[in-house]
Amino acid sequence: MKKKILTFLVLVAGLFMSAARADVLVLVHGYLGSAQSWDTSGVTAVLENHGWQRAGVFVSGPGGNQLIPAPGNTGERIFYTVDLPSEAPVLVQSFQLRQILQSINTLHANEPISIVGHSAGGVVARVALVRGDIDNIKSLITIASPHLGTGRAEQALDVTDVPFPLSMVTDFFGGTTYDTAMRSRSLFVDLVRQRPGTLLFWLNSLPHPDIEYFSVVRGQPALMTGDYIVPGYSQDMNNVPALQGRSTLIKVNNTDHGLNVLDGSVIVSVLADTI
């Protein structure tokens, strides 16, 4: 009798193990980044070394979002990268991200989803979340994101605000960097320092989902002044009026703004505590 009961319990356990939910991670790049940014920085290598398996990349385009699946994405911990139009306004990017997150919900029904957003990607992720209709979000981790804006966006707007006919000269001689900045003006408008009438002022006053928030803030030891793009106070979601005291602050001794291997270690550490 005992042997039969033991066999039954083992069978039941096997059924539950085979139906175990996967933890899903979504990586959202920042301005001038792409899905490959997480690879070239070494972040995805760190994730894979800690048991996270690549599931695929969502590429946005005129015809909608296309999933390019990775082989063997059946692990208990999987991650997706996304390819958003990083020069587009925040609302455009967030609309596409919401569609991607809804697709992931369909693929992984009732499975917990964590989002990591680098730089402007963190703001894009917040807009996607506050607009609702996305289930099963467990946490949001932002890395060097301008939640309260950045003066660099205002500087970029000033540099590209050239009146006619001088604009004809700059358009002709400006070069690739200038052309990129011109295409990005609508995004820069979204990322100026928050004040009444700005997108960030609107976003930061809206109710946010009841999930876990983590702010990775860069800067020099103890000072946390930020990096050369985003000041430290703007990277901390605790300074967002709607999120005061709700975000775990993670200080990183790094004054660079781009992604790097250390970010992978931070992500792994945070996820290990939340899973």
**8-12, 67-71, 147-151, 189-193: least confidently modelled range:** 8-12
pLDDT above 80: residue 166: no
Give the pLDDT of residue 86.
Answer: 97
d(CA 247, CA 109): 26
Give the pLDDT of residue 274.
Answer: 74
Give the pLDDT of residue 218.
Answer: 94
Give the pLDDT of residue 88.
Answer: 97
Give the pLDDT of residue 22.
Answer: 66
**86-95: pLDDT as tens digits:** 999 999 999 9
Q: How confident is the model at residue 275 (pLDDT cuts 50, 70, 90)?
A: low
Give the pLDDT of residue 105.
Answer: 94
Average pLDDT (147-162) is 92
Query: Concatenated DSSP letters for the chain?
Result: -HHHHHHHHHHHHHHHHHTPPPEEEEEE--TT--TTHHHHTTHHHHHHHTT-EEEEEEEEETTEEEEEEPTT--SSEEEEEEE--TTS-HHHHHHHHHHHHHHHHHHTTT--EEEEEETHHHHHHHHHHHT-----EEEEEEES--TT--HHHHHHHHHT---TTHHHHHHHHSHHHHHHHHHTHHHHHHTSPP-TTSHHHHHTTS---SSEEEEEEEESTTT--B-SSSBHHHH-GGGSGGGTTTEEEEEEE----S--HHHHHHHHHHHHHH-
d(CA 106, CA 66): 14
**16-25, 62-71, 182-191: least confidently modelled range:** 16-25
Q: How many CA atoms lie within 13 A of 70 on its CB side?
A: 16
The CATH code belonging to domain 22-148+196-274 is 3.40.50.1820
Residue 67 makes CB contacts below 8 A (sequence gap 6+) with: 56, 57, 58, 59, 103
Phi, psi of 185 (to 5 degrees): -55, -40
- Other beta carbons within 10 Å of 151: 14
**What is the domain partition of the chain in residue ranges?**
22-148+196-274
Residue appearing with tokens 């009841």: 210
d(CA 19, CA 266): 29
pTM of the model: 0.87
Nearest CA among 119, 65, 94 for reference residue 206: 94
Take residue 274 and report the two structure tokens written for it: 């939340």
Nearest CA among 191, 121, 124, 123 for reference residue 157: 191
